[in-house]
Amino acid sequence: MDVFLAKMAEFIKVEMVTDLAHDFEHVRRVVANAKQLSRAERANEWVVMPAVWLHDCVTLPKDHPQRASSSALAADKALVFLADIDYPTEHFAHIHHAIMAHSFSANIAPISLEACVVQDADRLDALGAIGIARCLQVGSALHRDLYESKDPFALYREIDDKQFTLDHFYQKLLKIEETLHTEEAKREARLRTDFMHQYIRQLRHEIGV
């Protein structure tokens, strides 16, 4: 397994060409999350590990019109690579599904424990301190305002995360905890989501609203 994993790491290091929040360090963090979840949930690491290493081997930008196709393209590309390195083919169907289902935009429900682990591992990286940093990176890259000046926390207006980065917390990030499948991921998500609420309270204090 270690030889295969080393080849996957080298492959994805070259393939990660996308927005600032989806770089090689993102993949490494998702891999670390997946290892923890796999051990806690007793998932098959022969499925989980290639799926998490390769889940973003194709990633279209957040504002790309075909963003929802990213995970399907990644899943197909991953199997071509795995075949090239002679990875055991009996795991291919489950790996393909796990990569397909990891994406929010694809909106595919995971139907195996391994797919649940992969999806949870990826979503955890959108939470906590690193989740805040990644959200700010993407918002800046897309030239979005940090917040709406008259109603920063969307108390009296429609949420618009296409224009305001802070709105993405309410549109998506603070709801991620509710979408997780494994108990280990839910436990970690609670800690990270609490931290994000603390950040929002501090931001409210600093901007005087």
Give pLDDT tens digits for 160-188. Answer: 999 999 999 999 999 999 999 999 999 99
Task: Tell me 145's DSSP state.
Answer: B
- 175: CATH: 1.20.58.1910
pLDDT at 14: 83
| Domain assignment of residue 196, given as a range | 126-209
Same domain for 97 and 8:
yes
pLDDT at 146: 96
Nearest Cα neighbor of 177 from 195, 189, 192 is 189
Sign of CA dihedral 58, 103, 129, 170: positive
The two structure tokens encoding residue 130:
């690193």
Residue with tokens 């390769």: 54
Contact call for residues 50 and 191 (beta carbons, < 8 A): no
- 60: CATH: 1.10.472
Q: Within 10 Å of residue 120's Cβ, how many Cβ atoms?
A: 27
pLDDT digit string (tens) for 89-134?
Answer: 999 999 999 999 998 877 889 999 999 999 999 999 999 999 999 9
Domain count of the fold of the chain: 2
Asked if residue 23 has pLDDT above 90, the reply is: no
In this structure, is residue 193 part of a structural domain? yes
Sign of CA dihedral 50, 53, 57, 60: positive
Cα–Cα distances in angstroms (integers) from residue 55 to residues 5, 140, 151, 154, in the given order: 14, 24, 37, 33
